[in-house]
Structure 1
């Protein structure tokens, strides 16, 4: 660390000298001048198989139970169906949410629309991942079904359509890797920085660090309202038999 400080002093001196005597192209810095050794990035072991949770992840669903989730309505036990390592929406049972709250995070989640295809548009394999319970990444069977572009799979619902449609066929597993930066508010509740979202759908970038205009609204214009720095995220019961597996989070 002392070496770095000495190099920094040298850089400042050289820069101030250059400013005094104009641009001097013959000034060359040693390679060490642009190196730093602290802090050392902490070591994290990746999953042994594709999409497996890394060593520092919080595993929310490993296929065994819904202990990390509760009813979004009244915080009673989550009552969706769990079978063969998969959770499936139980229509009319309501949304479920995580017991833990999250702010900035990396979220990995896998989902599949029903193999028995019913309906069209928004009535076909509809669910959603509502980050902080407010900002929805749409889940929908958009494989061969047209709907409004900012409402199809991997859209930030009613705000941004995905860059491309990467949806797999009904019954096949889709993967979302969502990188979320929570909005910031000052002590008076005024927005100082909007939420940002990046979404990778089946390995394809479909939302590139977009700035959300506010919480998801089905009708009307989004408008930020101050809220906690961390909140649970919600999985939506939209009445369709959408399935989920392999859900994990890394706090950022």
Structure 2
């Protein structure tokens, strides 16, 4: 009886496969192709303005004002200078930060180091030093690295003191540099323990210099402090005492 039932089941299964094969053979190629087409959800359409800013972006600076920014010292109006469509650090006045908090983002920012005669020296960290901080903690370095030498994990495109850029894509002093950065914020559990670190991908002048690099903790000049639980927080631009310039800053929340 068991063998008979097994034979019946095998026969039924074989018949099912044969029937399915026949049905497939009867379909046209375009019908088979349709079976793997996915029609929903439909991605939202993004358009671009004359400056190339996508329609779903938050414009942080386009030359019209510093309403999106404040002093990192006391939350007063941003103390940096606007010259045309360019934002320039006002040395010794302190960092500025966005009034809005962010977590995961795509950031576009253009920057230019100052002329040679306004730098602190021919070498090292005084060549237009600044930085882009995500959640006010994690820095992508801004520095003229086309000229003077410095430690590679502190040059332009580095995750400061953590990751050396894959290549040096810095343009000469008279030219503008462009960062397009994808940032994924760290995750913490309800107890404040780290679940997933932050990650950053950096395109410098269209060249990949950080490829989903794992951020090891908050940026520090000395040592390597551990992660501490936090939520979304502002983007921050550093005043390192050099007259570094920025323009065309926008961000997309991810």
Aligned to 2:55: 55
Query: Highest Rg: 1 or 2?
Result: 2
Distance 1:26 1:217, change over 3 A: farther
Structure 2: runs of 5+ lacking an equivalent: 1-12, 25-30
1:176 Cα offset (Å): 0.3
Q: Deviations over 1:174-210 (max 9, x none)?
A: 0000100111111111111111100000011111111
The answer to whether the aligner puts 1:244 opposite 2:246 as a matched pair is yes
1:211 matches 2:220: no
Match of 2:179 in 1: 176
Alignment match of 2:42 (pick from 26, 40, 43): 40
Q: CA deviation at 1:47?
A: 4.1
1:231 is the counterpart of 2:233: yes
Matches of residues 144-183 of structure 1 in structure 2 within 5 Å? 144-183=147-186
Residues 123-142 of structure 1 aligned to structure 2 (within 5 Å)? 123-142=126-145
Distance across 2 between alignment mates of 1:26 and 1:200: 51
Secondary structure, aligned partner of 2:168: coil
TM-score by length of 1: 0.86
Give me the TM-score of the superposition, normalised by structure 2.
0.85
Contact kept, 8 Å, 2:109 with 2:180, in 1: the verdict is: yes
* 2:192 maps to 1:189: yes
Structure 1 stretches of 5 or more lacking a match?
1-16
Secondary structure at the residue paired with 1:31? helix
Counterpart secondary structure, 1:227 = coil
Task: State how many pairs are aligned.
Answer: 228
Moved more, 109-118 or 158-167: 109-118
- Check conservation: 2:218, 2:224, Cα contact below 8 A: no
